[in-house]
């Protein structure tokens, strides 16, 4: 194994300082180093890739050496300065990863499509758990009909029916499983409807909406293998960082909430006070005890009746 430079014809020369920068070094077997010699990267990388892209391990090999992959990579047009910039970012990303201080999103380096898709999927799973956990703790286990907008419920019902058409069971009662059938903007609708419970976590309705939309526009091309607009890509990468930071705070918030709930539960036990369930509350509203008549605050008639009494 030899330490070598990447060959850049336009910049190669004895004593040229830029050639000896760290981002331009690699480790190669001696026979491969001799095969490359002073050929430009666009030539020898094309040979390694194969005329008909018949080397399935080519992209993997590039990433293992922290070389910018894909068609936009500067290796294809021998752009040395851009190569130095991108490879330095990839090296920094790897340093962040192995030290536990972050990953490629924190480094500013271009994010490969497969890593981007995994990052979006990870956010969606965390978002689903956060939404379920907060609504279950604040509203109750039967929050689906109360806290989820009707159009979202209808869409989920259709999706469940379509995806389970060939199965015997097409009804799902667990709200956490139902949330698997909502899309990113549906989460925004659910959170917005119950903003009083989510405000402390997300901070701003406008920020949540803009980052949700950016994440959606980032995910769709990844899911359907389409070209991505550069602006959508940058906004999507920024939204990944925003959601990561925001949802990470939910872990601490959940711990505090659990402590508060446990304290309240113990106090209620001492005072021998029972909190009615959702079903019990519905029964109370429908059939109130004698002497208790709920007042309709939106009805002038109710106010007049109450005054007469």
Cα 208 off chain centre by: 13
Rounded Cα distance between 102 and 108, Å, is: 11
CB 184 within 8 A of CB 215: yes
Residues 102-106: contacts with CB under 8 Å, at least 24 apart: 105/237, 105/240, 105/241, 105/244, 106/241
The answer to whether 21 touches 14, Cβ cutoff 8 Å, is no
Q: What global pTM score does this model have? A: 0.60
Query: What is the average pLDDT across 151-165?
Result: 87
Region 287-299 average pLDDT: 46
89's CB contacts (< 8 A; 6+ apart) are 107, 108, 109, 110
Q: How many Å apart are CA 73 and CA 82, to the nearest integer?
A: 9
Burial of 250 per CB tally in 10 Å (0-12, 13-18, 19+): buried
Give the pLDDT confidence of 64-83 residue by residue, as tens digits: 888 888 777 888 888 888 88
Has residue 1 got a pLDDT over 50? no
Q: For 24-33, 112-121, 126-135, which range has the lowest pLDDT when averaged over its residues? A: 24-33
Cα–Cα distances in Å, from 255 out to 252, 259, 261, 266? 5, 6, 10, 17
- Helices 230-271 and 113-138: angle between axes, nearest 10 degrees: 30
- Rounded to 5 degrees, φ, ψ at 272 are 55, 45
Least confident among 31-35, 101-105, 245-249, 274-278: 274-278
Contact between 172 and 112 (Cβ < 8 Å): no
Is pLDDT of 116 > 80? yes
- CA 100 from chain centre, in angstroms, equals 19
Averaged pLDDT for residues 51-59: 77
Averaged pLDDT score across all residues of the chain: 77
User: What's the mean pLDDT in 290-297?
Assistant: 45
Model confidence band, residue 278 (pLDDT cutoffs 50, 70, 90): very low
Listed in sequence order, the DSSP H helices in the chain are 30-36, 41-49, 58-64, 80-98, 104-107, 113-138, 144-147, 150-163, 175-178, 184-193, 195-202, 205-223, 230-271, 278-286, 300-308
Q: Give pLDDT, residue 25.
A: 81
pLDDT at 120: 92
pLDDT at 309 over 70: no
Please state, in angstroms and rounded to a whole number, the distance separating the CA atoms of residues 158 and 144.
15
Class of residue 82 by CB neighbours under 10 A (exposed 0-12, middle 13-18, buried 19+): middle
Each residue's pLDDT tens digit, 190-226: 999 999 999 999 999 999 999 999 999 999 888 887 8
Residue 266 has pLDDT above 70, yes or no: no
């Amino acid at each position: 194994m030899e330490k070598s430079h990447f060959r850049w014809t336009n910049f190669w020369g004895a004593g040229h300082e830029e050639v000896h920068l760290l981002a331009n070094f690699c480790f190669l077997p001696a026979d491969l180093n001799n095969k490359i010699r002073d050929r430009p990267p666009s030539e020898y990388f094309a040979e390694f890739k194969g005329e008909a892209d018949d080397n399935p391990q080519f992209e993997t090999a590039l990433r293992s050496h922290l070389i910018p992959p894909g068609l936009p990579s500067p290796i294809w047009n021998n752009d040395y300065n851009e190569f130095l910039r991108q490879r330095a970012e990839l090296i920094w990303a790897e340093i962040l990863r192995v030290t536990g201080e972050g990953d490629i999103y924190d480094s500013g380096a271009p994010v490969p499509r497969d890593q981007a898709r995994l990052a979006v999927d990870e956010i969606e799973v965390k978002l689903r758990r956060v939404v379920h956990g907060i609504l279950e703790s604040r509203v109750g286990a039967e929050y689906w009909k109360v806290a989820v907008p009707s159009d979202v419920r209808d869409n989920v019902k259709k999706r469940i029916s379509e995806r389970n058409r060939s199965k015997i069971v097409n009804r799902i009662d667990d709200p956490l499983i139902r949330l698997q059938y909502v899309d990113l903007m549906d989460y925004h609708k659910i959170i917005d409807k119950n903003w009083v419970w989510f405000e402390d976590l997300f901070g701003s309705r406008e920020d949540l909406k803009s980052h949700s939309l950016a994440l959606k526009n980032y995910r769709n091309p990844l899911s359907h293998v389409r070209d991505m607009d550069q602006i959508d890509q940058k906004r999507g990468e920024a939204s990944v960082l925003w959601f990561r930071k925001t949802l990470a705070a939910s872990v601490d918030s959940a711990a505090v909430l659990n402590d508060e709930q446990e304290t309240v539960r113990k106090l209620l036990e001492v005072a021998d006070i029972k909190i009615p369930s959702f079903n019990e509350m519905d029964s109370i509203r429908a059939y109130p005890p004698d002497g208790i008549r709920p007042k309709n605050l939106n009805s002038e008639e109710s106010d007049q009746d109450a005054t007469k009494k």
